[in-house]
Amino acid sequence: MAGNSDYYIEITTRLRSVQSFCDFLSRGGSVRVASTDAAPFTDVTADLLNRNRAEEERLTALRRHLFPDRADEDVAPPLYDHH
Domain presence at residue 8: yes
Does pLDDT of 77 surpass 70?
Answer: no
Nearest to 47, CA basis, from 30, 34, 35: 30
Domain presence at residue 83: no
Domain presence at residue 37: yes
Does pLDDT of 63 surpass 60?
Answer: yes
C-alpha to C-alpha distances, 67 to 16, 55, 60, nearest whole angstrom: 16, 18, 10
Number of structural domains in the chain: 1
pLDDT at 40: 96
Domain presence at residue 16: yes
pLDDT at 73: 63
Which pTM was predicted? 0.76
C-alpha to C-alpha distances, 17 to 1, 2, 31, 38, nearest whole angstrom: 25, 22, 16, 31
Domain that holds residue 59: 2-66
